[in-house]
Amino acid sequence: MSQSTHEIIVPAHAAALKEVRNTFREVVQSWAPDCAEMLILALDECCSNVVKYRCKNLGDGNIRVRAEHHPGLIRFRIGDFCTKKDVEKIRPRDLDDVKPGGLGTHFVKEIMSRISYEADPNHPEAMTLVLEKDLP
């Protein structure tokens, strides 16, 4: 079965988010034209969370982003950014409450089929966020 993979590493800074979007927009468009823009939104929201909550927009770290296309599946892997304690704090918002907090998490949960986290046994505090989208 065919598989395609693209990966970039960018500074963990808001200014790098556009580079992530531009890098993956065309390739995701070729994999899933019907939902490409929403998938890019989900990817961008996760990278934004890295910048905002993990790296505090200081630009002193990196984000590793990998996109994989498998038959019937697109997977994003967003590298080593979040402690388990941080992950447990992340909750989608209550949609009856229109305050903006948690909106990005809501988008990701609505767009993606599955969200999981992988720990690195060699780096106990590091985790990789894994987003998967089933394709028709």
Partner 1 sequence: MLEIQTESAGETVTVAAFGEVDLEVSPDFWTAIEGAIAITQRLRIRLADVSYIDSSGIATLVKALRHAQKYKVDFALIDPSDQVRAVIELAQLDRLFKIETSAQ
C-alpha of 48 from chain center: 8
State whether residue 47 is helix, strand or coil.
Answer: helix
Binding positions for partner 1, 65-94, rule CB under 8 A: none
Give a three-class secondary structure readout of 68-123.
EEECCEEEEEECCCCCHHHHHHCCCCCCCCCCCCCHHHHHHHHHCCEEEEEEECCE
**Residue 15 CB, nearest distance to partner 1 (Å)?**
6
Nearest Cα to Cα of residue 104 among 26, 47, 19:
47
**Residue 38 CB, nearest distance to partner 1 (Å)?**
7
Amino acid occupying residue 36? A
Should residue 109 be labelled a site residue for partner 1 when binding is judged by CB under 8 A? no
- Per CB under 8 A, which region of 1-9, 42-50, 68-76, 114-122 contacts partner 1? 42-50
Should residue 100 be labelled a site residue for partner 1 when binding is judged by CB under 8 A? yes
Should residue 129 be labelled a site residue for partner 1 when binding is judged by CB under 8 A? no
- Per CB under 8 A, which region of 70-78, 83-91, 100-108, 112-120 contacts partner 1? 100-108
Should residue 48 be labelled a site residue for partner 1 when binding is judged by CB under 8 A? yes
Query: Measured from the CB atom, is 40 or 65 closer to partner 1?
Result: 40
